[in-house]
Amino acid sequence: MANCVQCGRQLPPLSFGRKLCKWCVQHEAAQRGDDSAIQRVETAPWVRPQSSSMPVTQGIFGINVAVCVAMSLAAGATVLGDPAWLELGIRLGANYGPYTVSGQWWRLLAYMFIHGGLLHIAFNMWCLWNLGRLAEAVYGHWTFGAVYIVTGLAAGLNSLAWHFAVPSVGASGAIFGVAGALIASFYLGEFSLPRAAMSGTLRSVVAFVGYNLFLGAAITNTDNAAHIGGLLMGLLLGALIARVAPQQDDVLRRIAVLLVGVLIVLGGVTWLERSYAYRLHGQNGVNLLNQGKMDDAVAELQKSVSLRPDLVATHSALARAYIAKHDFNNAAAEMKRVIALNPRNEDAYYRLGLIYVAEKNLSQAQDTFSELLKVDPTSADGHNGLADTFANQRQDSEALREYKQVAAVDPSYQSVYYNMGIMQARLKLYDDAIASLLRQRQAGDDADNEKLLADVYDAKGMKSEAADARQKAATLETSH
């Protein structure tokens, strides 16, 4: 198959002796001033820009250096791995999963301008200066800046997905993005020189990427995940620009191309939120709940359930926080959601029943504990909750029956024999009450148990035993 004699491009089949490709024919027509032959090409990257024509590269370079100098002065350290430097980097905006995904998404931008030390920034800025000035010449100022930022964001997202709990800093992800965009443009784009003239630059950029990926794999503290994420986004944007919007003045098409990258980044943010943010908010909420900070706990747990409404444990923790705040309506609503998600969750039925008891809604409490016993007829919590409900309604015989069920299922259940003693005393079953209260005494001394025992002894006419029980109750109260 023949090649174009001017640019070396391969001619299509059945060219019938033609020596020039279609692109070169259009190029010559454009050179003659034929406006009908519009030639869509990218800016020639071999034209070395003067310092005044690369303001975006210079601006990014200056910001990185300024941040590094300020960090060095603030931390009093200049070496990678210094604890003071690392701590300051995390505070300033390192891309750290537990912080970024918890809502501090600005870190995806800030981390690109923070470095781990002088050697780190020196190497990155050398790469930025060489690749940035080349890319700024090819794409123009605003397109280059947008490509740099979008690929840097993609690099940060890939870093989070790869190693969520490891802090990441540096411009290298965005620099790899620029390199990827150049590779795609040089390979797929049309320039106003023969393709052979581009091969040397293309080989240099490919070699840069390959060498640094290999080096990143060999050095343990190098974030190759960010490099790969930036590279892939750069390849995509560079390919789309080369094919869809090669000319710098084709603003609308370039905006459309860059919006594709932005949408991919937003999709990554959404995925990370669904994958990680709900866990972080949930963990923070539980920790705050255990610390007694109920308002903060509710706020964190609400964020978690808004991201993952199907999490039983988070709804249950949120209900506990509402209970602690005496917000029984919301607590009941959360427990109902738990039951809807897991109809066999015994703890949810029990806690919902207790909420209804606290609200003095005894009929619903009784129904809820009955539902629990349908799930597990041997549930000590179910029988005890039902017994408490009967006791609050002065249905003493029914309450005593249920407390006996509790004792049969779990003889060590808290205060079960004391509760039985109360019901037996109300029903004037004094001998049974004494037996129950003495059994409760075996579980440990308790002033209330002794007071009730004294009253029952009095009802039986056992004055000496009653006096002893009252004395013991007084001693227990004094000691506490």
Length of the chain: 480
Three-class secondary structure assignment of 61-98: HHHHHHHHHHHHHHHCCCCCCCHHHHHHHHHHCCECHH
Note the pLDDT of residue 49: 43
* Cα–Cα distance, 364 to 65 (Å, whole number): 67
- Which pLDDT belongs to residue 265? 96
Domain extents in the chain: 51-249, 414-480
Helix (H, G, I), strand (E, B) or coil at 3: strand
* pLDDT of 5: 64
The Cα-based distances of 396 to 364, 424, 451, 457 in angstroms read 19, 8, 20, 20
Is-contact 381 362, C-beta < 8 A?
no
Q: What's the alpha-carbon Rg for the chain, to the nearest Å? A: 37
Instruction: Name which of 180, 178, 174, 179 is nearest 114 in CA terms.
Output: 174
- Distance CA(92)–CA(71), nearest Å, equals 9
- Three-class SS state of 455: helix
- The pLDDT of residue 212 is 75
Phi-psi region of 223 (alpha: psi -120 to 50; beta: other; left: phi over 0): beta
- Tell me which amino acid residue 104 is: Q
What pLDDT does 372 receive?
95
Contact yes or no for 189/172 (Cβ under 8 A): no
Model confidence pLDDT, tens digit, residues 138-150: 889 999 999 999 9
Domain 51-249 has CATH 1.20.1540.10: yes
Find, among 150, 180, 266, 164, the residue nearest to 225 by Cα.
164
Q: In DSSP terms, which residues pair with 10 in a beta bridge? A: 3
Count CB-CB contacts under 10 A for residue 205: 22
List Cβ neighbours of 292 (8 Å cut-off, separation of 6 or more): 324
Put simply, whether the predicted model's pTM sits higher than 0.95 gets the answer: no
CATH of domain 414-480: 1.25.40.10
Report pLDDT for 469: 92
pLDDT score for 207:
80
Q: What is the pLDDT of residue 248?
A: 81
Spell out, as residue ranges, where the chain has pLDDT lower than 70: 1-3, 5-23, 25-52, 75-84, 190-202, 216, 220, 480
Q: Is 10 helix (H, G, I), strand (E, B) or coil?
A: strand
